[in-house]
Amino acid sequence: MVVLSTGRLGPLIWAGFSVFLYLLAAYALVKLRARRPHSPLLHPIVQRVGETALYLGLPYLALLRGDILLRWLGLSGMDWIQGFGIGVALGAGALALACLAFRWSFRDEQDDALPAPGPLPHISRLGLLWKALTLQAHWAFYRAVMIQVLGDAYWGTFAGLALVVLEYVLSAETRLKMRTPAGRRVVARLTLAVLSAILYFYAGNLPLLVLFHWVFEIMLHSALIPWPESHTASS
C-alpha cells in the first residue's frame, strides 16, 4: 500500500506549477497561431527558450530548494555496469520494436485524407539532442517528484508518467494535433514517455535515457518511419 508522505507535499507544488505552466503555454500557442500566425512569439527560437525555461529551469529551482534529489532524477548513484547494460539492451530492443510498430501501423493509412508521406522538417542532430535532453529532464522531474512524495521508486516512476500523460491529454495543442496527421507525433511522444519510464525503473540513468531519446528522434526524422507532413502545428 502506498502512503502519501505528509512531509513531501512541497514537491507536489512544483509539479502542479509545472503542469499549469505547460497547459497555459499550450493554450496560448494555439490561440496565437490562430489569431496572429506571424507573431514573433511563434519563432522557433522563442519557443525553444520557453521550453528550456520550463523543462530545465523548474527542476533546477526544485533541486536548489532540496525538494527533489539528484538520485531520483537519475543523475547520481547510477550503476554504470549492470544497470547500464540492462538499459542498453532494453533500449535497443524498444527502439527496434517501436520502429517496426510505427512502420506497420502507418503503412496502410496512405489514403486520400492524408498527405503523401515524407520526412519531418529538417532539424540538426544537435537540435534533436537538445530536444531529447529537455524533454527527458521534464519527464525525469515528474518522476523525481512522485518518487519523493510516495517514497517508492516503482509507484513514483509510473505516477510521474501519469503526470506526463495528463499534460498531453489536457493540452489544447494536443487536441489540435490529434485532428491532423500530426497526431502521430503525439502518439510517438507518449510511446517514448512510456518506454522511458520502463527504462528508468530498470537502469535509473538519465544520460542513457537522453541517448535513447536522441536515437528515437533521429529515427522519426529519417526514412526509418514513414511520416506525413503537417503544417498545422509544430512538433
In a domain, residue 228? The reply is no
- Is residue 215 within 8 A of residue 132, CB to CB? The reply is no
What does the pLDDT look like over 93-147, one tens digit per residue?
Answer: 777 766 666 665 555 444 434 344 344 455 688 888 998 999 999 999 999 999 9
Q: How wide is the angle at C-alpha 165 spanned by C-alphas 163 and 166, nearest 5°?
A: 60
Q: Residue 78 pLDDT more than 80?
A: no
In a domain, residue 235? The reply is no
pTM for this model (two decimals): 0.80
Higher-confidence position of 44 and 83:
44
Q: Whole-angstrom Cα distance, residue 151 to residue 56?
A: 23
In a domain, residue 125? The reply is yes
- Least confident range from 19-23, 35-39, 83-87: namely 83-87
In a domain, residue 22? The reply is yes
In a domain, residue 234? The reply is no
**Residue ranges making up the domain that contains 137:** 6-220
Q: Whole-angstrom Cα distance, residue 187 to residue 139?
A: 16
55 band by pLDDT with thresholds 50, 70 and 90: very high
Show the cell assigned to 71.
538520485
In a domain, residue 210? The reply is yes
CB neighbour list of residue 209: distance below 8 Å, 6 or more residues apart: 74, 136, 140, 196, 199, 200, 203
- 180-216 as b/e: b if 16+ CB within 10 A: bbbbbbbebbbbbbebbbebbbebbbbebbbbbbbeb
Show the cell assigned to 208.
542513457
Q: Whole-angstrom Cα distance, residue 204 to residue 80?
A: 10
| pLDDT attached to residue 229 | 44
Residue 117 bridge partners (DSSP): 228
- Quote the number of domains for the chain: 1
Q: Residue 44 pLDDT more than 60?
A: yes
In a domain, residue 232? The reply is no
| pLDDT attached to residue 84 | 63
Q: Which residue has the cell 514537491?
A: 11
In a domain, residue 24? The reply is yes
| pLDDT attached to residue 79 | 61
17 band by pLDDT with thresholds 50, 70 and 90: very high
